[in-house]
């Protein structure tokens, strides 16, 4: 009797499993869509980038392939002695993604002190009402320490650092403090 029940259960599972899998394969892409975001990519444009540029370029391109969706707005800064925008555009097709990657490949390192503060200030001011993802790539340890000790240190308050052999990737939470305070106030006022 127990064997018969187990065989019937296994038979039911063999029938239901493909149906459930099919359901999730069809439905999951619908729910995987997200609203467009602002993607800010700030890359160390100082001479420190020269020795690790290929490694960084490969890593950043892979990361962009993972996070970019149609409709996202991407701005890329070269943080050289003065930060400057080297690409800005909306991701609507593969050609747009290729243009972002080309701007990174074509970045020419020069100077000794990257202007991360200027790029972060500019990225913060460009943020739309939606969400943003800011990735700062530093090949110069000295530049980060000057940023952390300067007036712009607040930009890095909500950030996560990923260490590599000769460079760092920081995911920076721009303008999060006001959102956190607003959400906390709304939560506690209930």
| 66-91 residue pLDDT tens | 999 999 999 999 998 899 999 999 99
Classified as helix, coil or strand, 40 is: strand
pLDDT tens for 130-149 read 788 899 999 987 766 666 65
For residue 37, give the nearest of 102, 134, 103, 124 by alpha carbon: 134
For residue 49, give the nearest of 110, 116, 136 by alpha carbon: 110
Q: How many CA atoms does the CB half-sphere of 157 hold within 13 Å? A: 10
User: What is the pLDDT averaged over residues 97-119?
Assistant: 92
Sorted by where each begins, the domain ranges of the chain are 1-33, 38-180
Band of residue 19 on the pLDDT scale cut at 50, 70, 90: very low
Q: What is the pTM of this model?
A: 0.73
Band of residue 16 on the pLDDT scale cut at 50, 70, 90: very low
Band of residue 20 on the pLDDT scale cut at 50, 70, 90: very low
pLDDT of residue 167: 93
User: What is the pLDDT averaged over residues 115-124?
Assistant: 87
CA distance 141 to 161: 12
Give the CATH architecture of domain 38-180.
Answer: 3-Layer(aba) Sandwich (3.40)
Given strand 73-79, what is the order of strands in its sheet? 83-90, 73-79, 38-44, 132-138, 168-172, 159-163
Tokens representing 115 are 């202007």
130 with 175: CB under 8 angstroms? Answer: no
Q: How far is CA 69 from CA 74, 137, 170, in A?
A: 10, 21, 21
């Amino acid at each position: 009797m127990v064997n018969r029940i187990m065989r019937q259960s296994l038979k039911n599972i063999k029938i239901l499993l493909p149906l459930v899998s099919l359901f999730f394969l069809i439905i999951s892409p619908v729910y995987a869509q997200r609203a467009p975001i602002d993607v800010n990519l700030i890359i160390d444009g100082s001479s420190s980038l020269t020795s690790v540029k290929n490694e960084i370029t490969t890593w950043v391109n892979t990361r962009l392939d993972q996070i970019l969706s149609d409709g996202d707005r991407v701005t890329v800064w070269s943080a050289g002695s003065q930060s400057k925008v080297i690409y800005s555009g909306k991701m609507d097709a593969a050609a747009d993604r290729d243009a972002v990657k080309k701007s990174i490949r074509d970045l020419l390192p020069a100077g000794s002190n990257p202007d991360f503060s200027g790029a972060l200030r500019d990225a913060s001011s460009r943020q739309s009402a939606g969400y943003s993802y800011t990735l700062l790539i530093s090949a110069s340890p000295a530049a980060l320490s000057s940023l952390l000790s300067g007036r712009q240190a607040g930009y890095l308050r909500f950030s996560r650092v990923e260490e590599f052999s000769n460079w760092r990737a920081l995911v920076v939470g721009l303008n999060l403090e006001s959102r956190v305070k607003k959400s906390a106030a709304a939560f506690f006022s209930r």
